[in-house]
Structure 1
Amino acid sequence: MASSQLLLSLAAAVPAALLSGVLTWAIRPMLIRIALAKPNARSSHRVPTPQGGGIAVVAATLIAAVAVIAFAGAAEIKIPVAVFVATLFIATVGFADDVNSIPVVPRLLLQGLAVAAVIFATPENLRIVPACPLWLERGLLLLAGLWFVNLVNFMDGLDLMTVAEIVPVTGALVLLGWLAELPAPVTIIAAALFGAMLGFAPFNRPVAKIFLGDVGSLPIGLLAGWCLLQLAWHQQVAAALLLPLYYLADATVTLFRRMARREPFWAAHRTHFYQRATDNGFSVSGVVREVFALNVLLATLAIGAAMTSSTAIAVLLFVIGGLATALLMRRFSRRQR
């Protein structure tokens, strides 16, 4: 089974990487004309840069995943239609927002519709807390999913930042799939997203030639969130929280700080910890390297938490990940000498 998962994952990741790179190169001239992001006071870039590279990443991910699942020939490996349709829908919403900004409320409602389609299409026997009423658990997951999709978008504010987050997360998910902790379709989708992000990376490294845009960050958040939710549904809650812990902590703490200061928390800003790091003297490459290193550590801890049968050890690994995340955020918030 492990060797089969390995072959399927490679069959998804390699074509996705190649297709993502080719598509990113091909669509960049078009995006320069219709989706150019101009620098402003809240931007991290200094020259007009096309956004919308997520079209290539999402297309490569879905095409590679569908192809591998369709040709796998195993009855238990089914295409998660609701997930793919919701991904295409939220990508369309994101692209519309990239080209011509959509007001906050309609945008959140459309995003919520995509998240709801993914959550409520899931069989009722998949539960995180069986003692909790189903309607309450699914309602909380809807809110959590909507937040996760948006925080991936919020954190996509620096060259290569989303690559530094999603590559370790999806890489760990693939490894957990090989270890039989995840179903085959989830492992294949994670592998395809892993490859697609690697194919996009050369175009997004500092100084970026193209950005993901909302058309990329929103569906990437949806797909990654669905994969992590599958991990939680298989009773690996500590691992599901550890993998995206830096993104969760940075975005959530920043949100609460802005709300406490009565700032318009829905508006664009430059107060995330990774953004404050660049204002405090860190280079873009330095920030990305440190976030990537932390995410590799979190991925290692998550795999350990998933493989242990001891709840105490899983909790200890989560605490270690939380401390490492807090230390990096504190480091980012202090000015470099």
Structure 2
Amino acid sequence: MTISALQFSLLAIPAAALLSASMTRAILPLLLKHALAKPNARSSHRIPTPQGGGIAVIGATLVVAGAIMANVAAPDLTIPVAVFGATLFIAAVGFADDVNSIPVLPRLVLQGLAIAAVVFAAPDDLRIVPAWPLWIERALTLLAGLWFVNLVNFMDGLDLMTVAEAVPVTAAVALLGWLGDAPASAMIIAAALFGALLGFAPFNRPVAKIFLGDVGSLPIGLLLGWCLLQLAWQQQFVAALLLPLYYLADATVTLLQRMARREPFWAAHRSHFYQRATDNNFTVSRVVGEVFALNVGLAVLAIASIRAHSVAVDVAILLAGSIAVALLLRRFSRRRAL
């Protein structure tokens, strides 16, 4: 990796943070007039709040990352170009859904098209399990990507929750890039998204002045999923699993529980563990604070797994991370004494 790529990725953080904050402040009056999210029985907020802050976060991420990639000789820009296009497309889908709800099936088809553009743009030599036929691996990756993008959307239900998840993940991927363990393109995009989320965070902290909306959560899920896919393509499976493990566990366990109870699992609800925590006397700040602390720990474990180069250490690290996630889910599911 070139020194210039490292230097530019460091500059991406403050540049994206400043641009994201400026854009958020600029669009806030417009969103107050035209994009209010009104509280309902499933909401975690109590007053109408503008949504659409993802316009600033994604806009800042793509502008800064694109400007850097235009001036840095990254190893392969074919995939980032597809990622940029897919990110803009899925953001447009999210914005349309924010303004006028799109039925489930067409929404999933449109999301699937964006994810397919990323998955099938990858060179054939980028493989997760080389022993499998390529078409099977790509199809499974597409399904996994569709689930991941949607679970990031599902989990964006509290002030700062997506920041608490995505900041440690992007920081870890950027750091791995600086250490030479992740591609330059992933490092640059992760650093830009990290900065953009930091710029947005002051507007989204409890009580939030603005929400990301689907225009933010969907493309953030796509970008995070692509960064994790970069690790999986390099056979760094433990790190790729550990970084989003809390989100994966909360969303997947909740889905399975709802299916077991024969509930309409595709409908909006308040069954996620982090949502149940607020019903169990946890404040919003405490919930996102504990999720953030857990995610920082998972990021440290993920980096350690890559640097250790040991199967035994990987197993121990994955077990430790899984136990930490399980303990937090259990804690959120029990009423907290006042």
- So what's the TM-score if we normalise by structure 2? 0.98
Structure 1 residue 333, shift from structure 2 partner: 0.2
The yes-or-no answer on 1:224 pairing with 2:198 is no
1:39 has 2:39 as partner: yes
Conserved 8 A contact 1:2-1:179: no
Aligned to 1:128: 128
- Are 2:12 and 2:64, in contact at CA under 8 Å, matched by a contact in 1? yes
The residue identity in structure 2 corresponding to 1:76 is: P
- In structure 1, what is the Cα distance between the partners aligned to 2:126 and 2:262? 39
Matched, 1:76 2:75: yes
Determine whether 1:237 maps to 2:213: no
Contact in 1 for aligned 2:151/2:247 (Cα 8 Å): yes
2:196 corresponds in structure 1 to 196
Tell me, yes or no, if the aligned pair for 2:90 and 2:218 is still in contact at 8 Å: yes
Equivalent residue number for residue 50 of structure 2: 50
- 2-side partners of 1:106 and 1:226: how far apart? 23
The yes-or-no answer on 1:59 pairing with 2:63 is no
Equivalent position of 1:271 in the other structure: 271
Q: Hey, what's the Cα distance between the residues in 1 that align with 2:273 and 2:92?
A: 29
Alpha-carbon distance between aligned partners in 2 of 1:130 and 1:299, rounded to the nearest angstrom: 27
Structure 2 partner of 1:171: 171
Contact map agreement 1:159 1:206 (CA 8 A) in 2: yes
The aligned residue for residue 87 of structure 1 is 87
Give the stretch that moved more between structures: 294-303 or 311-320.
311-320
What is the alpha-carbon distance in structure 2 between the residues aligned to residue 165 and residue 249 of structure 1? 13
1:145 aligned partner: 145
Q: 1:35, 1:99 within 8 Å by CA — same for their partners in 2?
A: yes
Secondary structure of residue in 1 paired with 2:70: helix
Q: Deviations over 1:171-230 (max 9, x none)?
A: 000110011111111100000000000000000000000000000000000001001001
- In percent, how many aligned pairs have the same letter? 74
Distance 2:335 2:41 in 1: 20
Distance 1:111 1:136 in 2: 20
SS of the residue 2:71 aligns to: helix
Report the Cα offset of residue 71 of structure 1.
1.4
Match of 1:17 in 2: 17
The letter of the residue matching 1:179 is: L
* Shift of residue 280, structure 1, vs aligned partner: 0.2
CA contact (8 A) 1:150 1:221 kept: yes
| Separation in 1, partners of 2:215, 2:77 | 26
TM-score by length of 1: 0.98
Distance 1:193 1:315, change over 3 A: same
Q: How many angstroms does 1:3 deviate by? A: 4.7
Instruction: Determine if contact 1:5/1:177 at 8 Å carries over to the other structure.
Output: no
DSSP 3-state at the match of 1:162: helix
Q: Distance between the aligned counterparts of 1:301 and 1:142, measured in 2?
A: 27
Q: Which residue number corresponds to residue 254 of structure 1?
A: 254
Unaligned 5+ residue runs, structure 2? none
How far 1:150 moved relative to its partner? 0.2
Aligned partners of 2:101 and 2:58: how far apart in 1? 20
Task: Give 1:113 deviation, angstroms.
Answer: 0.4
Distance in 2, Cα, partners of 1:4 & 1:297: 30
Task: Name the amino acid aligned to 1:242.
Answer: L
2:106 corresponds to = 106
| Aligned-partner Cα distance in 2 for 1:44–1:76 | 44
Q: Given that residues 52 and 216 in structure 1 are in contact (C-alpha distance below 8 angstroms), is that contact kept between their aligned partners in structure 2?
A: yes
- CA distance in structure 2 between the partners assigned to 1:75 and 1:247 by the alignment: 30
Residue 4 of structure 1: CA displacement? 3.9
Alignment of 1:283 with 2:253, yes or no, is no
RMSD, matched Cα = 1.0
Query: What is the one-letter code of the residue matched to 1:50?
Result: P
Is the Cα contact below 8 Å between 2:74 and 2:184 reproduced in 1? no
Deviation at 1:78, TM superposition (A): 2.7
